[in-house]
Amino acid sequence: MRPFAAFAAALLSLAAPAWALADPVAIPVTIAPAAAPAPLSGRLIVFAQRVEPGAAPQTEIDSSPFAPTNTAVAAREVHALASGQTALVDGEVDAFPSRFSELPAGTYRFQAVLDRNHDYNYGGRGAGDIVSPVVEARLPGAVPQLTLGETLPERAPDAFLANVPEAEREATRTAWGQTVEVDFASPKLSAFWGRPVHMRGWIALPPGYRADGPTFPVAYSTHGFGGSLRSQRVNAAQAIRRMAAGEWPPMIWVFLDQSSATGTHEFADSVNNGPWGEALTTELIPWLESRYRMDARPNGRFLTGHSSGGWATLWLQVRYPELFGGTWPTAPDASDFHDFTNIDIYAPNANAYRGADGTALPLVRNEGRVAATLEQFARLESVLGAYGGQFASFDWVFSPKGPDGRPLQLFDRATGVIDPAVAAYWRDNYDIAHMLARDWARLRPHLDGKIHVIVGTADTFYLDGSARRLQAVLDRLGARASFTYVDGGTHFSLYRPRPDGTDLMRDIAQAMYAVARPGGRRVQ
């Protein structure tokens, strides 16, 4: 799921509506001439956030799926909108959490964003999007006129270093320049899409690496929902820095980008996204092994990833068990779809929004409190756009293709009703627990002892529940696997340093190295 740094600060909610406006609300949005030398298209989104009179100024009004009712959102598609033209954004149809005419009385701050690339659901506003100034208005009353005038610039290449602790920033900046880019045009993916498709990432080489030197074990790592090629470069720089400091054993790390226009493709072989697993295992890995001094054998190839990246590396290990020597997924997305973020997708009359007793299903929790329900999360995603959101991303990875060429949805976004035929397709192709139980006789010789799942007992998205189900299936099969439940750990706290200075990634790196180099020197 999406890792937002400002998660804790966003846990606010609006009061329940006290009354309704008599008339429908539509917000006029115009593009300033200087912002649009040519007509523009995209998803036009209006955000409205209630504030107390006299509140400190803001330059950005945005929503958060982790506190979905904190900001009202309305949106529409625009096509060839020219400078000086006005588009009305209907606050009654594509709106969340309610019609704008039903918002409680008060002072609101409004801002419009033209999402030109239809990727707001994945990474929020970004380079090329056009935003308006924040305008304040009182409701009920006249709605404000919003003018799109500022085109957002590209972020500086090393902007992500701002998230690195200041004491480590200079060393990380140096390591940043030592990362090696991966850019591989995949024949299989290009054939699937009918255009060139590239697989990208960053390599972190160990100290003393030489083109004519010894080989090293290799770890393939991918990110969770919201990650990107740039964030992976930060991870590669951190790996270089930590190997140089002797904190991690000497290995080659390949940090792969799995973001796409549809969300995260998760390196799954999909009828919608294409054969990403096949491309990785039969094209990219052989290509890398022909160019770098890598251990080209199963007990020298390893997998790890977090969240959606955790699911990806778990699925790759199960789907291609003979190729890899083990996977260490952290807080992986649901691996048993009897608990798909609290939904049993196989239950009779299954509904993604409500349990059998009619209660709303929670999706996000913080400090023991429900921060968002699944319905709130999914409805907000639908308003922000059809592409790139978390649940739309799951459909693009797991679902069969529909008559219109797009993936069938697991559940109806208006009602939450689950399509049992789609659920059956998910089970047969991507429910990892089901795949293991069904194919264990074949998988055991190549997979036994290679699965190592790590998750917090307070995972923000309740992913510990699915992990426990997966463990129960493996226990029932008599499989050798390890499951670590970090007491009180959330989706975002697993990687925090411990009081003794060690952390989870160091443990994972050492466990991999011990498989590749039994009896080898351990870092201190």
Q: How confident is the model at residue 14 (pLDDT cuts 50, 70, 90)?
A: very low
Query: Do the beta carbons of residue 388 and residue 122 sit within 8 Å?
Result: yes
**pLDDT on residue 2:** 46
In this predicted structure, the answer to whether residue 4 has a pLDDT above a threshold of 60 is: no
**pLDDT on residue 9:** 36
- Determine whether 512 is exposed, middle or buried from the number of CB atoms within 10 Å of its CB (0-12, 13-18, 19+): buried
3-state secondary structure at position 345: coil
Block residue for tokens 């939450």? 416
In this predicted structure, the answer to whether residue 13 has a pLDDT above a threshold of 60 is: no
Helix (H) or strand (E) holding 195: none
Residues 6+ apart with CB under 8 A from 6: 64
Q: What is the largest CA-CA distance in the chain?
A: 77
List Cα–Cα distances, 90 to 20, 81, 87, in angstroms.
Answer: 16, 16, 9
**pLDDT on residue 443:** 98
What is the number of other CB atoms lying within 10 angstroms of the CB of residue 86?
Answer: 12
Domain contains 278: yes
The verdict on 46 and 184 lying in the same domain is no
| AA identity, residue 327 | T
| Mean pLDDT lowest among 65-69, 241-245, 336-340, 423-427 | 65-69
The verdict on 70 and 168 lying in the same domain is no
In this predicted structure, the answer to whether residue 221 has a pLDDT above a threshold of 90 is: yes
Separation CA 477–CA 443 (nearest Å):
11
3-state secondary structure at position 44: strand
In this predicted structure, the answer to whether residue 12 has a pLDDT above a threshold of 50 is: no
Secondary structure of 225-257 as H, E, C letters:
CCCCHHHHHHHHHHHHHHHHCCCCCCCEEEEEC
| Greater pLDDT, 141 or 167 | 141
Residues 6+ apart with CB under 8 A from 458: 365, 368, 464, 488, 489, 490
pLDDT per residue as tens digits for the range 339-390? 999 999 999 999 999 999 999 999 999 988 999 999 999 999 999 999 999 9
Q: State the Rg of the chain over Cα.
A: 24
**pLDDT on residue 141:** 85
Block residue for tokens 């080898």? 520
What interhelical angle do 374-384 and 390-398 show, nearest 10?
90
Domain contains 522: no
In this predicted structure, the answer to whether residue 235 has a pLDDT above a threshold of 50 is: yes
- For the record, the structure tokens of 439 come out as 């194919």
What interhelical angle do 432-447 and 463-477 show, nearest 10?
50
The verdict on 74 and 175 lying in the same domain is no
**pLDDT on residue 11:** 36
Q: How confident is the model at residue 426 (pLDDT cuts 50, 70, 90)?
A: very high
Rounded average pLDDT over 470-491: 97
Separation CA 450–CA 325 (nearest Å):
6
Among 373, 392, 427, the domain boundary falls at 427
Domain contains 270: yes
In this predicted structure, the answer to whether residue 51 has a pLDDT above a threshold of 90 is: yes
The verdict on 325 and 252 lying in the same domain is yes
The verdict on 485 and 508 lying in the same domain is yes
The verdict on 181 and 269 lying in the same domain is yes
Q: Is the pTM of this model over 0.85?
A: yes
The verdict on 292 and 270 lying in the same domain is yes
Mean pLDDT, the chain, whole residue set: 92
Domain contains 497: yes
The verdict on 174 and 128 lying in the same domain is no
The verdict on 468 and 417 lying in the same domain is no
Q: How confident is the model at residue 159 (pLDDT cuts 50, 70, 90)?
A: confident
| Greater pLDDT, 1 or 355 | 355
Q: How confident is the model at residue 521 (pLDDT cuts 50, 70, 90)?
A: low
Q: What CATH number should be reported for the domain holding residue 228?
A: 3.40.50.1820
Cα end-to-end span (Å), the chain? 33
Residue 51's domain comprises 8-151
Name the domain count of the chain.
3
Among 371, 401, 427, the domain boundary falls at 427
The verdict on 167 and 218 lying in the same domain is yes
3-state secondary structure at position 446: helix
**pLDDT on residue 397:** 98
Q: How confident is the model at residue 160 (pLDDT cuts 50, 70, 90)?
A: low
In this predicted structure, the answer to whether residue 523 has a pLDDT above a threshold of 70 is: no
CA dihedral 421, 422, 425, 429 (to 10 degrees): -160
pLDDT per residue as tens digits for the range 105-151? 999 999 999 999 999 999 999 999 999 999 999 988 888 999 999 99
Domain contains 142: yes
- For the record, the structure tokens of 251 come out as 């290995």
Domain contains 487: yes
Indicate the length of the chain as a whole number.
524
Among 395, 410, 427, the domain boundary falls at 427
pLDDT per residue as tens digits for the range 236-256? 999 999 999 999 999 999 999
Domain contains 406: yes
The verdict on 395 and 279 lying in the same domain is no
**pLDDT on residue 184:** 98
Domain contains 524: no
Separation CA 337–CA 344 (nearest Å):
6
The verdict on 166 and 289 lying in the same domain is yes
Rounded average pLDDT over 457-480: 98
Alpha helix (H) ranges present in 84-126?
A: 120-123
| Greater pLDDT, 19 or 518 | 518
Q: How confident is the model at residue 3 (pLDDT cuts 50, 70, 90)?
A: very low
Rounded average pLDDT over 267-287: 98
Q: How confident is the model at residue 21 (pLDDT cuts 50, 70, 90)?
A: very low
